[in-house]
Chain A
């Protein structure tokens, strides 16, 4: 392994060398910062990174080097630079959620996901730009300016985890953490031509993820490859006593899904050891072309409407052909309540947001604007000044739908429909379908400033938001390009069946080969 081709290295290539003492963590830090500088990751250019501190990162790398030399095993992510979305609490670097109201705020505690990355040897190098409080689909809603798509700087990278997707696409880090509420990892992954996974609700602890809509929020992983996403996710997944909504279901070794077999029934102590970082990262052999024998892929008609962009449809059809040629059966299915997802989402998510964002009141931390006219005036000035227009819009919307007299008509009804949407998925997955395939987004990345109508922007989430409402895992994988812009294909599986999702994703990635980026 050479650091010269850093931008091509996956986590599974970096970690063994660092673990074995062949490459130093400091080299990885320097390579990451050099790449960020070369490509213009800073505020004046692509504006991917909001906070980074090379000297502090180098210091951390030196300490890691000393531990390696003293014989300590650093873990499966040894020396892997990782970027973190700015709404996930981290020690050392600020956590501002892309908002003015938290400018300069440094969390005194770390998110469980970040702590687990570090425990596995990852080096946190940057906090990435995002739509303010994760509200948006383009990263244009950041108080710190929009992020540009590294593949076409005129275009948005998607959002709200646009900075994390761009960091991976630009080769600054092989892995980045993002967060999802309605598609905020998968949609930017699709726009930037990288892999983005949103695990089942409860799979990853939300402790330290600044809440937008608690019943929908999940931390997700962006990676250049399916393997990076799988390694990243298995490093952070699993029960956390600090998050009552986290699940204690077993976390399989997702990378073994690359072997193209169903999930092992029993837990294997050896593979368990891999996850907790005691064994070298084994590279599973890549899946062969016929490894989806017996797998049924569902193609939901609601996600392939007549109005679907023909180029996107073409890319999806090509991917479905690959599934068939690998032995899978493609079955036409229906998720009849999916068309209701956007209205349901835009009732529930703002409702929870209006409450979650109440803590930003200028009293204990963050921005305070006090005109000296009493408490109410302080609240109004602080929040008017601190929140951008989209956040303000959603707080107002959420406050409205929770108000007396409207609660039953909006919130309660939306919850009922949410249950129906989840029932649709359950029905499909209990009818012999192993995975659902859809386009990730209705369009490719659009130019910065092109969408000004909020509702039009909301429609970007039309294919992704159902997985959040149903709580099921989903991944976006590059499936080709249209006019040089990437297209993402989405694979959705049943609750806590990330293993099957990765199996299909590994196969699709291998089946498409170079076509995934053509």
Chain B
């Protein structure tokens, strides 16, 4: 394969919609899914004479994101106009930041190399800007409709260094980035709703060559796996081009997910001259260093730190920790359970087992899950102190999900408290041996592996109440 002679060099530009109630420069709502052009005003319609006023909350969220990605916050950053004509860009320019961005020089830890070295992707810059509206080409035949609800919604653009070498690496970076932004609670980071969008810059070069090849920009990917596929496809295209003696042309390409191929964009964006200049309607953004320090101290625990801590504090494996921290709310739920139950392993088993099943069944989010961490912890304790068996606990849990009642109450109501009484267990064992004479005979004749089957029968008969330890002891003594 020709691509073996080339190395992929990728930098990603990620646009993230900030989770504000109102737009970046006016008081219009940012609600997703409002009727077209419902959330507009003179400012975001660019009526003559209207002026932008910066949304302070957007600045807070952008700073939070930048700090979370380890960036330096510039004490003075400057908004700039990016000029181009398009019907969904009402002012004829986008308010963005150009040569003086909000933040620079961060990095994201994405894992470890085979040799154990840290893999980090550098963040070149993070700047604030506003979104454009939406052009709808397929609604009215021969016409284009414009929806300006999204125009002016606050975004941050996170530009990575060209540090990514594989499509899987791009995926890992994106998943890590998304997770960090989730932990920071600055965005919904949903590619479906458009609150996270990815453009990829990709070039190829022979391994060892320092000079970068000519890059292309690939847009229009609607999922992280689409990004990976698009990179592979574009990598192969560039390699084949070079192998056949051709040259890569700097251009913007669109990913066609249905055909799994890239095609040139109709508008040649590479040839655009955006004529940036400082936005005279807004003053330079000056951030007090004390305020920035305060924001830094206020940051929540980020995924990497949390993974390390969970692994050591609760004795969990790397894989287990990864599962738990995929969603910050899940990790918090786990930790509350683990702390209250005093048993990380059991908490893990429950949270990744029964809890996940219940959530999937009801398609609920963990944040709204009926069984609160304290209740689940109580259930774990009931099992540990032998009050109920593990089998019974699963039934108790199901009832807790259904009714929202505490574990102890459910166990009592259902009569599921474990029975350790010799007499009762002996009765159940006798009944089972009578009812299954074939298995009984073989077991008593020394076929030890049947013991598990017989214990199962006893547990079933006792509706899970029998203490399995005692059942085993009893059977052993009979068979012994």
Interface residues of A, Cβ cutoff 8 Å to B: 88-89, 95, 97, 102, 105, 107-109, 111, 206-211, 213-215, 241-245, 351-352, 354-355, 357-361, 363-365, 375, 379, 399, 402-404, 407, 411
The reply to whether A89 and B49 form a contact with Cβ atoms under 8 Å apart is yes
Chain A, Cβ-Cβ closest to B274? A404
A379 in contact with B85 given A355-B92, A355-B277, A361-B92 (CB within 8 Å):
yes
The reply to whether B273 and A244 form a contact with Cβ atoms under 8 Å apart is no
The reply to whether A359 and B49 form a contact with Cβ atoms under 8 Å apart is no
A97 in contact with B48 given A215-B280, A358-B93 (CB within 8 Å):
yes
Give Cα A67 to B45, complex, Å.
Answer: 36
Q: What 0/1 pattern do residues 247 to 289 of B give for CB contact below 8 A with A?
A: 0000000000000000000000000010111001111000000
Q: Is the interface of A mostly helix, strand, loop or mixed?
A: loop
Give Cα A336 to B277, complex, Å.
Answer: 28
List 10 A–B pairs whose Cβ atoms lie within 8 Å, in order of A's numbering.
A105-B48, A108-B47, A109-B49, A207-B51, A213-B280, A358-B93, A363-B146, A399-B275, A403-B275, A404-B273
B81 sits at the interface (CB 8 A): yes
Q: What 0/1 pattern do residues 144 to 167 of B give for CB contact below 8 A with A?
A: 101000000000000000000000
Among candidates A111, A244, A351, A360, residue contacting B281 with C-beta atoms closer than 8 Å: A244
The reply to whether A244 and B90 form a contact with Cβ atoms under 8 Å apart is no
What chain B residues lie within 8 Å of A214 (beta carbons)?
280-281
What chain B residues lie within 8 Å of A245 (beta carbons)?
280-283
Nearest 10 CB-CB pairs, A to B?
Answer: A358-B92, A402-B275, A214-B280, A215-B280, A208-B49, A210-B48, A89-B49, A359-B46, A404-B273, A210-B49
The reply to whether A358 and B277 form a contact with Cβ atoms under 8 Å apart is no
Q: What 0/1 pattern do residues 31 to 54 of B give for CB contact below 8 A with A?
A: 000000000001001111111111
Among candidates B42, B51, B81, B83, residue contacting A108 with C-beta atoms closer than 8 Å: B42
Contacts beyond the supplied A359-B91, A361-B85, A411-B277: 11 A-B pairs with Cβ under 8 Å: A105-B48, A109-B49, A111-B49, A207-B51, A208-B49, A244-B54, A351-B277, A358-B92, A363-B90, A364-B45, A375-B87
What chain A residues lie within 8 Å of B52 (beta carbons)?
244
A102 in contact with B53 given A244-B283, A355-B277, A403-B275 (CB within 8 Å):
no
A96 smallest CB distance to B (angstroms): 9
A407 in contact with B49 given A355-B81, A358-B85, A359-B90 (CB within 8 Å):
no
The reply to whether A207 and B85 form a contact with Cβ atoms under 8 Å apart is no
B120 smallest CB distance to A (angstroms): 33
Q: Is the interface of B mostly helix, strand, loop or mixed?
A: loop
The reply to whether B51 and A243 form a contact with Cβ atoms under 8 Å apart is yes
Q: What 0/1 pattern do residues 71 to 94 of B give for CB contact below 8 A with A?
A: 000000000010101010011110
The reply to whether B49 and A95 form a contact with Cβ atoms under 8 Å apart is yes
The reply to whether A109 and B42 form a contact with Cβ atoms under 8 Å apart is yes
Chain A, Cβ-Cβ closest to B54? A244
B141 smallest CB distance to A (angstroms): 15
A358 in contact with B282 given A107-B49, A364-B46, A402-B275 (CB within 8 Å):
no
The reply to whether A402 and B277 form a contact with Cβ atoms under 8 Å apart is yes
Give Cα A244 to B144, complex, Å.
Answer: 34
Give Cα A105 to B47, complex, Å.
Answer: 10
Scan residues 66-123 of chain B and give those whose CB is less than 8 A from a CB of chain A.
81, 83, 85, 87, 90-93
The reply to whether B146 and A355 form a contact with Cβ atoms under 8 Å apart is no
What chain B residues lie within 8 Å of A358 (beta carbons)?
83, 85, 91-93
Give Cα A209 to B50, complex, Å.
Answer: 8
Chain B, Cβ-Cβ closest to A207? B51
B441 smallest CB distance to A (angstroms): 88
What chain B residues lie within 8 Å of A375 (beta carbons)?
87, 144
Give Cα A363 to B146, complex, Å.
Answer: 9
Among candidates A95, A355, A365, residue contacting B275 with C-beta atoms closer than 8 Å: A355
Chain A, Cβ-Cβ closest to B272? A404
What chain B residues lie within 8 Å of A95 (beta carbons)?
48-49
Give Cα A208 to B50, complex, Å.
Answer: 6
| Residues of B in contact with A, size category | 20 to 34
B55 smallest CB distance to A (angstroms): 11
Chain A, Cβ-Cβ closest to B42? A109
What chain B residues lie within 8 Å of A88 (beta carbons)?
49
What chain A residues lie within 8 Å of B281 (beta carbons)?
211, 214, 244-245
B40 smallest CB distance to A (angstroms): 10
A355 in contact with B83 given A214-B281, A399-B275, A404-B273 (CB within 8 Å):
yes
Give Cα A108 to B42, complex, Å.
Answer: 8
Give Cα A11 to B144, complex, Å.
Answer: 52
Among candidates B92, B146, B277, residue contacting A407 with C-beta atoms closer than 8 Å: B277
Give Cα A139 to B273, complex, Å.
Answer: 34
Give Cα A108 to B45, complex, Å.
Answer: 12
Give Cα A96 to B320, complex, Å.
Answer: 66
The reply to whether A109 and B48 form a contact with Cβ atoms under 8 Å apart is no
B259 smallest CB distance to A (angstroms): 26
Among candidates A97, A207, A402, residue contacting B83 with C-beta atoms closer than 8 Å: A402
Chain B, Cβ-Cβ closest to A399? B275
Chain B, Cβ-Cβ closest to A403? B273
What chain A residues lie within 8 Å of B90 (beta carbons)?
359, 363-364
Chain A, Cβ-Cβ closest to B53? A244
What chain A residues lie within 8 Å of B42 (beta carbons)?
108-109
Give Cα A243 to B275, complex, Å.
Answer: 24
A379 smallest CB distance to B (angstroms): 6
What chain A residues lie within 8 Å of B144 (beta carbons)?
375
Give Cα A432 to B107, complex, Å.
Answer: 54
The reply to whether B48 and A244 form a contact with Cβ atoms under 8 Å apart is no
What chain A residues lie within 8 Å of B273 (beta carbons)?
403-404
What chain A residues lie within 8 Å of B282 (beta carbons)?
244-245
A451 smallest CB distance to B (angstroms): 28
Give Cα A355 to B277, complex, Å.
Answer: 9
Q: What 0/1 pattern do residues 5 to 43 of B give for CB contact below 8 A with A?
A: 000000000000000000000000000000000000010
What chain B residues lie within 8 Å of A213 (beta carbons)?
280
What chain B residues lie within 8 Å of A107 (beta carbons)?
47-49
What chain B residues lie within 8 Å of A359 (beta carbons)?
46, 48, 90-92
The reply to whether B146 and A365 form a contact with Cβ atoms under 8 Å apart is no
Give Cα A241 to B43, complex, Å.
Answer: 13
What chain A residues lie within 8 Å of B93 (beta carbons)?
355, 358
Give Cα A213 to B281, complex, Å.
Answer: 10
B29 smallest CB distance to A (angstroms): 18
What chain A residues lie within 8 Å of B277 (beta carbons)?
351-352, 355, 402, 407, 411
Give Cα A379 to B86, complex, Å.
Answer: 10
What chain A residues lie within 8 Å of B83 (beta carbons)?
354-355, 358, 402
B177 smallest CB distance to A (angstroms): 31
Give Cα A208 to B144, complex, Å.
Answer: 30
Chain B, Cβ-Cβ closest to A411? B277
Give Cα A364 to B89, complex, Å.
Answer: 11
A220 smallest CB distance to B (angstroms): 16
The reply to whether B51 and A244 form a contact with Cβ atoms under 8 Å apart is yes
What chain A residues lie within 8 Å of B51 (beta carbons)?
206-207, 242-244
What chain A residues lie within 8 Å of B276 (beta carbons)?
402, 407
What chain A residues lie within 8 Å of B45 (beta carbons)?
364
A133 smallest CB distance to B (angstroms): 10
Give Cα A361 to B93, complex, Å.
Answer: 12
Give Cα A115 to B48, complex, Å.
Answer: 16
A102 in contact with B280 given A355-B93, A355-B275 (CB within 8 Å):
no
What chain A residues lie within 8 Å of B283 (beta carbons)?
244-245
Give Cα A281 to B418, complex, Å.
Answer: 92
Give Cα A364 to B44, complex, Å.
Answer: 12
A60 smallest CB distance to B (angstroms): 21
Q: Which of B51, B54, B144 has the most CB of A within 10 A?
A: B51
What chain A residues lie within 8 Å of B53 (beta carbons)?
241-244
What chain A residues lie within 8 Å of B50 (beta carbons)?
109, 207-208
Q: What 0/1 pattern do residues 122 to 148 of B give for CB contact below 8 A with A?
A: 000000000000000000000010100
What chain A residues lie within 8 Å of B47 (beta carbons)?
107-109, 365
